[in-house]
Structure 1
Amino acid sequence: MSIATVFEIVLAAVVLGLGIWTIVVRETFSATVGFVAYGLLVALIWVRLDAVDVALTEAAIGGGLGGVLLLGAAARLRDADVMAAETPGKVVRASAAALSVLTTAALAGAVLLLPDPAPTLAPAAVANAWATGLSNSVTNVLMAFRAMDTMLEKVVLLLAIIGVWSLAPDSAWGGRPGPRHQADPDGVLAFLARLLPPVGIVVGIYILWTGADHPGGAFQGGAILASMWLLTIIAGLADTPPVSRRWLRFILVAGPCLFLVVGLVGLLFGAAFLSYPPALAKPLILGIEVAMILTIAATLGLLLAGAPERSAKP
């Protein structure tokens, strides 16, 4: 047994144990920390599977955005004294455990009953990969063969930010999301907020551009841009924009709308919805990716900022 195999077995055991611990632990903060660690370890598993694109997304969303949102929710629940809710009864817990076991068994059975060799569209995808002009197989699949899924993911992000904004009181609607952050203008945080964003913006754009041929893409680049924006906000060097700004709303809908327009054009002049003419496939995909990186960066940043709670004026 090689060292790599031993490492993978230990990693799988740790991930499984951490997942169980995250479910059974009673403290919300401890469960959230466990969830963040779980997301980072899952990202490491994706790296071991040579899916670096998926690993970057998992680390940014599962270990980053999701963890921060859960920590914020836990803090609000603690402040509202809601944490002392009733503990589920034994019947409810036993039913949940039984349902979990049955679900696990059904998934294991479905995997074991797959035909050998398993059905796959990989040969067809590889044979037609030339049509998009993209060398990165992951980006190729996401933007061509699974373009509908990719477009709907951006729609889900848009619906998520609408849901967060709907939590705002009527008096604050149209105002700025989240509190106004203050930091020492001569402190370390302000120094980093001035130093890192220029580098982060370049890295984010590079991650977008290199996604055509190497691991990367709009989601990973957008997560980096969002983190740089949030850093300047937390350091007090910038403020969240009022949600009533038209340019902000335009950025939020730019990615899904452009994706939909390209899909409809493909339906009218091509073979099917979201079909790209081979001569224009790469420029169209690049245009969609540019619009999506702006939408993703703005949406992730605003999701962390929360619902509007302040006046639009400074």
Structure 2
Amino acid sequence: MNATLDAVLALMLPVMALFSLNARDERSAVIGFMALGLLLALAWVRLGAVDVALTEAAIGALTGVLLLGAASAAVSVAVPRTGSPLLRGLLALAAALVAAGVAVIVAGAPDPAPSLAAAAVAHLGALELGNPVTAVLLAYRALDTLLETVVVLLALIGVWSLAGEGEWRGAPAAPGGTASRPVVLLARLLPPVGLVVAVHLLWVGADAPGGKFQAATLIAAMWLLVLMAGLRAPPELGGARLRGLIAAGPAVFIAIGLAGFLVPGQFLAYPEGWAKAAIIVIEVALTASLAAMLALIVLGPGTGERRT
């Protein structure tokens, strides 16, 4: 049964990728891309990488919303095909050779494959963590995680910069149009459940699959659902509380990193016996900030509307 499932999944992945690339309109291409993301999440589950699967599903959901919005606003332009059939054939042959080369490398890899998993697991006791993924992201490669968070913040600033002069402090446009009754019903029923699941993912992330990013994405999705239903209005982007929430996560991360100079003597090094507590504080702060940043990236720039 498992072998059949794996075979069907391996077949569906390239089929869905080809469908997305060859779709006749932008909306169909985006829907195919979202379906491909779900299939990739299932593939990661089958490979035992549950953390990666959760992240793939979370990123795919928000990316799909962004691309659907872009597809709705896009103007279809007929683009003539360029290049001779011979050139296109050579490019296809080159792509096939690259795919075959990758397949040969994967098939010829040593068994077991070289891995640093044993070294990572060996130090989990000192960090008091049960999830090696969390250990890698917030201990062994904490600087990378900090920079990734800053990149999300810079992406939000880039979105805000698209606003017209004098409009960047106003509220963004409400997502969608007039909400249907099913959307309103879902917006009333799902957010409490989604928030409970998000808190669970955040809390168990230190010892099991889950963590800040998955929880933040789920919270952002619940917030966007409420806005789409018209139950709440988008916030003003110039509000001090909103901007403080956005900056809090990276600020806490940097502050704890700087505190490492005082005891262990190194940036982003945790004092002995306090590693897990420090990591949980960072995860909680980043969850709130990332949830706000991801939702605001989807909402887009301000429109100049001010609320009294």
Residue 55 of structure 2 aligns to which amino acid in structure 1?
A: T
* 1:145 paired residue number: 140
**Shift of residue 165 of structure 1?**
1.2
Contact (CA 8 Å) 2:127, 2:135: kept in 1 or not?
yes
Residues 28-74 of structure 1 show CA distances to partners (whole Å, capped at 9, x for unaligned) of 11111110000000000111112222111111112x11111111111
Could you say what secondary structure the match of 1:169 adopts? coil
Residue 154 of structure 2 aligns to which amino acid in structure 1?
A: L
Could you say what secondary structure the match of 1:87 adopts? coil
Alignment of 1:123-162 (within 5 A): 123-162=118-157
TM-score normalised per structure 1:
0.87
Asked whether 1:258 is paired with 2:252, we answer yes
Gaps of 5+ in 1: none
Gaps of 5+ in 2: none
Q: CA-atom RMSD, angstroms? A: 2.5
Alignment of 1:163-174 (within 5 A): 163-174=158-169
**Shift of residue 227 of structure 1?**
1.4
Q: Which moved more, 1:134-143 or 1:123-132?
A: 134-143
**Shift of residue 273 of structure 1?**
2.8
Residue 61 of structure 1 aligns to which amino acid in structure 2?
A: I
Asked whether 1:7 is paired with 2:5, we answer yes
Cα distance in 2, alignment partners of residues 263 and 110 from structure 1: 40
For this pair of structures, how many residues does the alignment match?
A: 306
* 1:122 paired residue number: 117
Contact (CA 8 Å) 1:179, 1:309: kept in 2 or not?
no
Among 65, 71, 84, which residue is 2:68 paired with? Answer: 71
Residues 250-286 of structure 1 show CA distances to partners (whole Å, capped at 9, x for unaligned) of 2222222222222232245325332212211011101
* 1:192 paired residue number: 186
Among 7, 11, 16, which residue is 2:14 paired with? Answer: 16
Residue 87 of structure 1 aligns to which amino acid in structure 2?
A: P
Residue 11 of structure 2 aligns to which amino acid in structure 1?
A: A
Asked whether 1:307 is paired with 2:295, we answer no
**TM-aligned CA distance change 1:286 to 1:189, over 3 Å:** same
Among 53, 63, 67, which residue is 1:55 paired with? Answer: 53
Contact (CA 8 Å) 2:211, 2:283: kept in 1 or not?
yes
Q: Which moved more, 1:85-94 or 1:220-229?
A: 85-94
**TM-aligned CA distance change 1:114 to 1:180, over 3 Å:** closer
Could you say what secondary structure the match of 2:133 adopts? helix
Asked whether 1:290 is paired with 2:287, we answer no
Residues 155-191 of structure 1 show CA distances to partners (whole Å, capped at 9, x for unaligned) of 2211211111111111422111123766569x33333
Could you say what secondary structure the match of 2:303 adopts? strand
Cα distance in 2, alignment partners of residues 221 and 200 from structure 1: 9
Residues 73-127 of structure 1 show CA distances to partners (whole Å, capped at 9, x for unaligned) of 11111xxx3x214334126866865664565466556656766654322221111
TM-score normalised per structure 2:
0.89
Asked whether 1:36 is paired with 2:34, we answer yes
Could you say what secondary structure the match of 1:309 adopts? strand
Q: Which moved more, 1:96-105 or 1:145-154?
A: 96-105
